[in-house]
Amino acid sequence: MGNIKASPLKDKLVVLLHDGGDRQATVQALPAIIDYYNKLGYAFGVLNGDTEPVRFAQAAKLKWTRPPVTDGQIAAFKEAAYAQRRSQTKDEPVLVIHAADKDVRFEASDYRLAKGVLYVPLDVLTEGLGGSVAPLPDGSGYEAALDGGTYRFSGDELGLPEQEAEARPQDDGAGAAYVPLRKALDRYGLQIYQISFNGKERNVWAKPQEAA
């Protein structure tokens, strides 16, 4: 209420109340704010499509400052978001890729199924198959090494569909971005020949294209 009473009075006023985080104090103060302005003769209206927008002027100087966000804080935020995703997907099926005499397992939080397409982290898939992944020097993508061959992934080959992109960072600082599973296996010379789902596991089998 201190800021409310200290603010200059005008013909029309806009009271800005933040709605993020724990705003219990804001909720508790609202009746007193309404009562204060009612006693001064103000009336409250409802915002609609005909309401003229209000543009706040930039202040001459900042009222407060805050330190820059650190890499540690960014990493902690990403991990918290990822942990939330893991908790939301704990009852969803795991994904197991059977290829090159290896089984690569993805927890439900580690892959996406969007519009019938499976997306997996490139680094987890490649390393699970016995290879390695490193970012390209120019930052445009990644280079994978597997069974003596090298393969580049960049541009539109990387990333999740727009509706899934915020669920997990495309590159969380620890590994490569997501790729469509079929496209990655095809690049590695592997062809999917069987897919099964038993309610708890999604299983995908692939074998060398020349033997398919």
Q: CA 129 from chain center: how many Å?
A: 26
Predicted TM-score (pTM) of this structure: 0.55
pLDDT in tens, 114-171: 888 899 999 999 999 999 999 999 888 899 999 999 999 987 778 765 544 444 444 4
- For 188, list phi and psi in degrees, rounded to 5: -85, 5
Specify whether the backbone of 40 is left (phi greater than 0), alpha (psi in -120 to 50) or beta.
Answer: alpha
pLDDT value at residue 61:
81
pLDDT value at residue 208:
93
Question: How far apart are the C-alpha atoms of 118 and 184, rounded to whole Å?
Answer: 11
